[in-house]
Amino acid sequence: MHTDCQLDQFKILYQDDHLVAIHKPAGLLVHRSPIDKHETRFALQMTRDAIGQPVHTLHRLDKATSGLLLFALDRDTAQRMGEQFEAHHIEKHYQAICRGWAPESGEIDHALKHKLDKIADKHARQDKPPQEAVTRFQRLAIAEVTHRMGRYDHQRYSLLKLIPQTGRKHQLRRHLNHINHPIIGDVQYGDRHHNHFFHDWLGQHRLYLAATDLIFTHPVTGEHLHLTAEPETSFQTALNALNWQNSPGLDD
């Protein structure tokens, strides 16, 4: 199944003389990739066209992940922001709907072996050791749905806030799978039975992972910035369909 891409969910969320932040729809690549040669629309291109000037990529979101994406408007800003990302001085928050009732909070400290792509990484070293990877999480709410699957009549789900401390490829998706709470809609690391249930139930297919917050120091002004993005419409559809308990946590 391919992620349903809603290009009308593309939005400019913040802009000054040095930075621009957008909402990237699920299913949209950040930039051109040898993995998806057929794609013709990219977040970088759409941002450039929307503001009428070149932009520089600072970080990435998986194609299937929606949410907050930040670009620099000049090379000097890009270099300064790159240093902040490299030093882990930028705090990133995500929301995810996952299978099962996860613990109320925790830290996943599980090293990850670099995932090589046959095309994009064909010249990369094949024997890289696992890299340190740490993700903190907080459970915002839980839900239960009456639906027969296997030997269970009810299916349980959690809404999590995820705060990665490192930035490994597919880190959040792999870490949640590691603790047996895979993200719904994840065709690579998730549970296909629950993925198909959400597709049939809600009439849409997507990865229920959204980048919601970026907290950092402005590289030029020194201002403390906290940028936010509400999950897009398709994510909200699932949030509204699930009868959440502990709902006050949704406002955290």
Residues 100 and 158: beta-carbon distance below 8 Å: yes
- Amino acid code (one letter) for 110: H
What pLDDT is attached to residue 122? 54
161: confidence class by pLDDT, cuts 50, 70, 90: very high
Q: Which positions are catalytic? A: 62
Instruction: Say whether pLDDT at 195 is over 80.
Output: yes
- For 35-57, what is each residue's pLDDT tens digit? 666 766 899 999 999 999 999 99
d(CA 50, CA 44): 10
> 205-241: string of b/e by CB count within 10 Å (b at 16+)?
bbbbbbbbbbebebbeeeeebeeebebbebbebbbee
User: Pick from 13, 9, 12: which is nearest to 225 by CA?
Assistant: 13
Instruction: Say whether pLDDT at 116 is over 80.
Output: no
If one counts every other C-beta atom within 10 angstroms of the C-beta of residue 122, the result is 10
85: confidence class by pLDDT, cuts 50, 70, 90: very high
What pLDDT is attached to residue 251? 43
Whether the CA torsion 42, 194, 100, 235 is positive or negative: it is positive
* Between 128 and 41, residue with greater pLDDT: 41
Token pair belonging to 179: 């603790």
What pLDDT is attached to residue 8? 83
Write down the architecture of domain 7-251 according to CATH: 2-Layer Sandwich (3.30)
- Amino acid code (one letter) for 178: H
Show the CA angle centred on residue 159, arms to residues 154 and 161, nearest 5°: 160
Residues 72 and 81: beta-carbon distance below 8 Å: yes
Instruction: Report the mean per-residue pLDDT for the chain.
Output: 91
What pLDDT is attached to residue 249? 44
Q: Can you give the pTM of this predicted structure? A: 0.90
Of the chain, the percentage scoring pLDDT greater than 70 comes to 88
* Between 109 and 120, residue with greater pLDDT: 109
Phi then psi dihedrals of residue 100, to 5 deg: 85, 170
Instruction: Say whether pLDDT at 142 is over 80.
Output: yes
Which segment of 118-122, 147-151, 240-244 scores lowest on mean pLDDT? 118-122
- For 1-12, what is each residue's pLDDT tens digit? 566 677 888 999
Tell me what the mean pLDDT of segment 88-114 comes to.
97
